[in-house]
Amino acid sequence: MQTEMSVCLTSANRVQRFWLLFPRLIIYFLTILSYGVEAGSRTNVTNVGAVINVSSRIGKEQKTAMEIAAESFNNRSKTHKLILHFPDSGRDPFLAASAAEELIKEKKVEVIVGMETWQEAAQVADLVGNQAQIPVISFAAPSITPPLMQRQWPSLIRMATNGSAQMKCIADIVSAYHWKTVVVVYEDDGYGGDVGMLALLTEALQDVGSKIEHRLVLPQISSLSNPNWVELEEMLRLPKMQSRVFIILQSSLPTVTNLFRLAGKMGLVGKESAWIITESIASLLDPQHASDMKGTLGIKTYYANNTSSYTNFRKKFQTKYSEGNSAQPGIYALRAYDAIGIISQAIGRMTDNTTSLEVLKTVLSSYTGLSANMRLNSGEVLYSPIFRIVNILDENRFQELNYWTPELGFSSDEAGENKFSDVGGVIWPGNLTSAPKGWAMPTVEKPMRIGVPGKTSFSKFVKVDSDKKKSVDGFCIAIFDLVINRLNYFLPYQFEVFNGSYDHLVEQVHKKVYDAVVGDITVLADRLDKVEFTQPYMESGLSMIVPAEPKKSTWMFMKPFTWQMWVVTVSILIYTVFIVWFLEQPSNPEFDGPLKNQIGTATWFTFSSLFFAHKEKIYSNLTRVVVAVWLFVVLILTSSYTANLTSMLTVQRLKPNATYIDTDSKVGCDGDSFVIEYLRNVLGFKKIIEVKSEYDYPKEFKNKTIEVAFLEHPYAEVFINENCIGYTATAPTYRFGGLSFVSNE
């Protein structure tokens, strides 16, 4: 009995102990399980920092695209998890760098992506990438790649290429329609972000023979105090722009929208105008933004939108994007999606012996994404850009035109097989199908103002008749009228007489007082820096004119032959006389008589044969042979003598009075031309006399006021033609660019 009771007590004690240990066992197993899960989660979670401008259109698209890519990876992977962190950079480089540092410290991110501008990317790479050795994938690239860039930022990977290809595309558009000047418009970002793009565009335009006439820098939206955009309207009114080709490099959508509204109000978006917008604007346009942009050309990076992967992404994007289901993902969204895709592939290849930067570079050595087929070289993702030109027809329609590649130019397909010389069938502003001329066409109410030199030394070129309401005439005016009559369009213009010097007249064109100058304007290097010249219509150079007197000589008849020739002629004559006498004296009765008579007869016969007037008969056949040779020589001698003497008597030989000209000589020239400065500064003459008119030069020479005159070659020819006796001119020794017309740059 006692034994049974002790057994029962032992069993009760065991049960009691079991119930006391059970909660502890549960806690122990739960703790082990939680530690295991926590340990597993800690090793398989990758934190990614996405530094973007979350309030901008680009930032919102990038955020949506990266979230889609991260969700796709998390749904596929059972062992890894990708967590994105989105701090707001506000498009400020310093805020971007600060946000990146905070991500590293607080969120322990292993890679940083984003950065909409190159200033942000450079700051983040400087303050974060090099210090923490964390890879930085930038969505922006510098306009001009600096040297040793990879050594300066070894952790930086640039997914965007520089802007040289896009600037060359714009230059090819300008060249295709023969526009010579353009106006560049861009919004000030406060950091000089478009200086590099402006330099690239300037160089690309120079390569096709065009240039930038004016740069219009728009203020940031935050700096405009008046909601009616009065400041912007005033900026459009200030410059006197002749060009009507506008290129917008960079600007926010609100600024672009109001820019087109004001430009349309001022008549800058209409006939003869052309507008080109870059990808940063064209990729973000919505129908509501394009109501005032009809006829504008835009540039977009081409990407394949007919693949299943793109279709799947687009459906998810339209579902998730907060701005509306109709939004189409642009190139910025695709690059953001590809960036997370690259990181996802790198996660699967990570080992204990590799760094994240090395794995990312390995993935990028050959990666096919939605935006392009990529490969990495010196920190830059390389791909051959293909641009698609789009034409805004109205607020509901965008027309896609030809493609463009740096290697092939314009073509109708992305492969570049069917080449074209322009962008295709464009509907230009004003619903025009023909390409605009690209500059402000004069009208009857506002004709083209053409300056004409009023003070001219040689009226044959330009002559202003003050008695006929300052009507103009002359050789230069006749050439201009001939060109105007050849134009296939009406060009209203009016001449305005300018009474200053030629240099001041050219300066008036540079200051846009006149639209052009018609006259005898010489093309010079310093003038080319200010204005444009047409093709020269006459050669120009500096000729020297001096008084001259005819060469007079009593022995002019001896000049046709040299003394050596006279000696040879007389020798042949004497020799022929001797041979004729020797052969004819035995048998010819006319050679009978004393020796003196025989020699006289032979001499007279030979001499009279010079004029073919000989009458004596010849009996010997040998004599006939000798005479035949002699007559042939006579024919040559008389013909040569007659020709040379005629030339000497017909063409008057002039001898310059001034045989030596030095820098102390008194020289005359036109005081209103550039020649006076050229003589003083280049040739070093000290005594320069200004001569007002072509008719004053003979008087100045006669009065010994000047010893020599320097005139441009066309003027020298006119002077010699009118004063052919008493003056001689040298050939042009110093040559210039020719006579031409002047126009605005």
Residue range 566-602, pLDDT digits in tens: 888 888 878 787 877 777 777 777 767 677 777 777 7
**Kind of pairing between the strands at 708-712 and 734-735:** unpaired
Give me the amino acid identity at 228. N
Find the mean pLDDT for residues 646-654. 60
> φ and ψ at 583, to 5 degrees?
-85, -30
Tell me: the pLDDT tens digits for 545-573? Answer: 888 765 556 666 677 777 788 888 888 87
Spatial CB neighbours of 64, under 8 Å, sequence gap ≥ 6: 317, 320, 321, 322, 333
Structure tokens at 706: 């000047």
Q: Give pLDDT, residue 2.
A: 45
8 Å CB contact between 237 and 269: no
**672: helix, strand or coil:** coil
Distance between CA atoms of residues 439 and 425, nearest Å: 21
Spatial CB neighbours of 341, under 8 Å, sequence gap ≥ 6: 69, 369
| Buried-state track 237-264, b at ≥16 Cβ within 10 A, e below 16 | eeeebbbbbbbbbbbbbebbbbbbbbbb
Interhelix angle for 331-349 vs 356-364, to 10°? 120
Structure tokens at 214: 């004016």
Distance between CA atoms of residues 587 and 580, nearest Å: 12
8 Å CB contact between 667 and 709: yes
Shortest CA distance to 700 belongs to which of 725, 666, 737, 743? Answer: 666
**Kind of pairing between the strands at 274-277 and 297-301:** parallel
Distance between CA atoms of residues 392 and 602, nearest Å: 106
Find the mean pLDDT for residues 350-372. 76
Q: Give pLDDT, residue 37.
A: 44
Q: What is the DSSP string of 48-77?
A: EEEEB-TTSHHHHHHHHHHHHHHHHHHHH-
Partnered with residue 81 across adjacent β-strands are 45
Structure tokens at 619: 């009996």
Banded pLDDT at 678 (limits 50, 70, 90): confident
- H or E, element range at 213: strand 211-218
432 or 373: which leads in pLDDT: 432
Residue 691 CB neighbour total at 10 angstroms:
20
Residue 1 CB neighbour total at 10 angstroms:
5
Shortest CA distance to 243 belongs to which of 274, 285, 222? Answer: 274
Please report how many Cα atoms fall inside a 13 Å half-sphere around the Cα of residue 357, on the Cβ side. 15
The 8 Å CB, 24+ separation contacts for 143-149 are 143/118, 143/194, 143/195, 143/196, 143/197, 143/199, 143/200, 144/196, 144/199, 144/200, 145/380, 149/378, 149/379
Find the mean pLDDT for residues 707-735. 82
Banded pLDDT at 353 (limits 50, 70, 90): low
Banded pLDDT at 153 (limits 50, 70, 90): confident
Find the mean pLDDT for residues 3-11. 47
Q: Give pLDDT, residue 327.
A: 67
Banded pLDDT at 195 (limits 50, 70, 90): confident
Shortest CA distance to 399 belongs to which of 372, 364, 433, 362? Answer: 433
| SS3 letters across 110-121 | CEEEECCCHHHH
8 Å CB contact between 720 and 506: no
Find the mean pLDDT for residues 220-238. 64
8 Å CB contact between 395 and 291: yes
Distance between CA atoms of residues 532 and 167, nearest Å: 24
Segment among 174-178, 348-352, 421-425, 666-670 with least mean pLDDT: 348-352
- Residue 400's Cα: distance from chain center in Å? 27
Residue 148 CB neighbour total at 10 angstroms:
7
Cα dihedral sign, 318-322-327-331: negative
545 or 63: which leads in pLDDT: 63
Distance between CA atoms of residues 228 and 261, nearest Å: 11
Distance between CA atoms of residues 696 and 675, nearest Å: 17
Distance between CA atoms of residues 139 and 54, nearest Å: 14
Partnered with residue 387 across adjacent β-strands are 301, 404
Banded pLDDT at 36 (limits 50, 70, 90): very low
Distance between CA atoms of residues 666 and 704, nearest Å: 9
Find the mean pLDDT for residues 242-253. 86
Banded pLDDT at 32 (limits 50, 70, 90): very low
Banded pLDDT at 469 (limits 50, 70, 90): low
Segment among 218-232, 271-285, 376-390 with least mean pLDDT: 218-232
Distance between CA atoms of residues 454 and 497, nearest Å: 5
Shortest CA distance to 107 belongs to which of 92, 86, 91, 125? Answer: 86
- Taking the whole predicted model, whether its pTM rises above 0.75 is answered as no
Residues shown for the chain: 745
- Residue ranges in 129-194 assigned as alpha helix (H): 130-132, 149-152, 164-176
Q: Give pLDDT, residue 246.
A: 92
Find the mean pLDDT for residues 232-238. 68
Find the mean pLDDT for residues 126-139. 77
Segments making up each domain of the chain, as ranges: 448-538, 557-654
Banded pLDDT at 460 (limits 50, 70, 90): confident
Distance between CA atoms of residues 284 and 261, nearest Å: 18
Distance between CA atoms of residues 448 and 180, nearest Å: 18
8 Å CB contact between 132 and 71: no
Q: Give pLDDT, residue 455.
A: 81
Q: Give pLDDT, residue 612.
A: 64
Q: What is the CATH number of domain 448-538?
A: 3.40.190.10
Most confident region among 73-82, 435-444, 628-637, 732-741 by mean pLDDT? 73-82
Answer whether residue 8 shows pLDDT above 60. no
Q: Is 587 left (phi over 0), alpha (psi -120 to 50) or beta?
A: alpha
Residue 650 CB neighbour total at 10 angstroms:
7
Shortest CA distance to 715 belongs to which of 675, 681, 685, 744? Answer: 675
Answer whether residue 18 shows pLDDT above 50. no
Spatial CB neighbours of 22, under 8 Å, sequence gap ≥ 6: none
Q: Give pLDDT, residue 186.
A: 87
Most confident region among 251-260, 289-298, 500-509, 651-660 by mean pLDDT? 500-509
Shortest CA distance to 520 belongs to which of 275, 704, 736? Answer: 736
Partnered with residue 389 across adjacent β-strands are 299
Distance between CA atoms of residues 297 and 154, nearest Å: 38
Q: Give pLDDT, residue 9.
A: 43
Most confident region among 6-10, 117-121, 248-252, 296-300 by mean pLDDT? 296-300
690 or 630: which leads in pLDDT: 690
Q: What is the mean pLDDT of the chain?
A: 79
Distance between CA atoms of residues 165 and 383, nearest Å: 11
Q: Give pLDDT, residue 535.
A: 87
Q: What single DSSP character describes residue 432?
A: B
Answer whether residue 41 shows pLDDT above 50. no
**166: helix, strand or coil:** helix
Spatial CB neighbours of 44, under 8 Å, sequence gap ≥ 6: 79, 80, 81
Banded pLDDT at 169 (limits 50, 70, 90): very high
Distance between CA atoms of residues 33 and 25, nearest Å: 12
Banded pLDDT at 26 (limits 50, 70, 90): low
Q: What is the CA radius of gyration of the chain?
A: 46
Banded pLDDT at 203 (limits 50, 70, 90): very high
Please report, for residues 61, 139, 390, 595, 599, the alpha-carbon distance to residue 578 in angstroms, rounded to integers and kept in the order given.
118, 110, 102, 12, 8
Structure tokens at 463: 């002559």
Find the mean pLDDT for residues 103-110. 87
